[in-house]
């Protein structure tokens, strides 16, 4: 008798066919992410360690899409809430940079969400395209703010190497989550 799991045929972003154990793990994961984001952003600024360079807000956006499949409106609210909450708690990022980061996170989430859900794009394609779009918008807006005198003159404050390493780690984490936790094959 050949029994196949329903799990492998489910969409990676629509976990409605999963068990109670899946949901318990999902909510635990969401709580850990939320605590980590607040802790990392607040704690790293408070003690002077640059954990914020791991881009914890980016991780929240992508994993929220994988696990919760939020509406675009909810995703955009989350994208702006993350940097503004951090700003309120720690003073970092500065207000103008919080706006730019909110736009950047919205772009990541919107492009990734649309590519995965509307165009059935592969995870890697959606991730790379969303990162490219978000970075282009982020650095474009930052460049405009620097030229307008609203921000300091440093366009790239985190080294390109560090950004590429974090990009690779986040991409690998997304891939492993989809492949192993959500049991969906992507190439």
3 state DSSP class of 71: coil
Mean pLDDT of 33-41: 65
Share of the chain above pLDDT 70, in %: 74
In a domain, 165, yes or no: yes
In a domain, 2, yes or no: no
In a domain, 3, yes or no: no
| pLDDT in the model for residue 29 | 62
Interatomic CA distance for residues 107 and 136, integer angstroms: 10
Q: Taking the model in full, what pTM does it have?
A: 0.77
In a domain, 76, yes or no: yes
Per mean pLDDT, which range of 10-14, 116-120, 137-141, 161-165 is the poorest? 10-14
Whether 92 has a pLDDT exceeding 60, the answer reads yes
For the chain, what is the domain count?
1
In a domain, 12, yes or no: no
pLDDT digits (tens, 9 = 90+) for 135-183: 999 999 999 999 999 998 789 988 999 999 999 999 999 988 888 777 6
In a domain, 139, yes or no: yes
35 Cβ partners below 8 Å, 6+ apart?
none
In a domain, 7, yes or no: no
Whether 68 has a pLDDT exceeding 50, the answer reads yes
**Domain housing 77:** 17-181
In a domain, 38, yes or no: yes
């Amino acid at each position: 008798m050949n029994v196949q799991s329903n799990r492998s045929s489910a969409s990676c972003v629509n976990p409605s066919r999963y068990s109670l154990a899946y949901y318990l793990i999902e909510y635990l994961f969401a709580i850990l992410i939320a605590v980590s984001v607040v802790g990392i952003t607040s704690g790293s600024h408070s003690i002077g360690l640059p954990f914020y360079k791991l881009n914890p807000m980016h991780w929240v956006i992508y994993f929220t899409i994988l696990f919760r499949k939020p509406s675009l409106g909810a995703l955009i609210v989350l994208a702006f809430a993350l940097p503004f909450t951090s700003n309120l708690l720690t003073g970092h990022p500065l207000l103008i940079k919080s706006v730019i980061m909110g736009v950047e996170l919205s772009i990541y989430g919107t492009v990734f969400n649309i590519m995965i859900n509307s165009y059935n794009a592969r995870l890697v394609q959606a991730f790379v395209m969303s990162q490219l779009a978000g970075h282009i918008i982020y650095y474009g807006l930052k460049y405009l703010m620097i030229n307008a005198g609203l921000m300091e003159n440093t366009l790239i404050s985190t080294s390109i190497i560090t950004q590429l390493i974090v990009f690779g780690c986040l991409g690998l984490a997304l891939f492993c989550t989809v492949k192993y936790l959500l049991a969906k094959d992507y190439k």
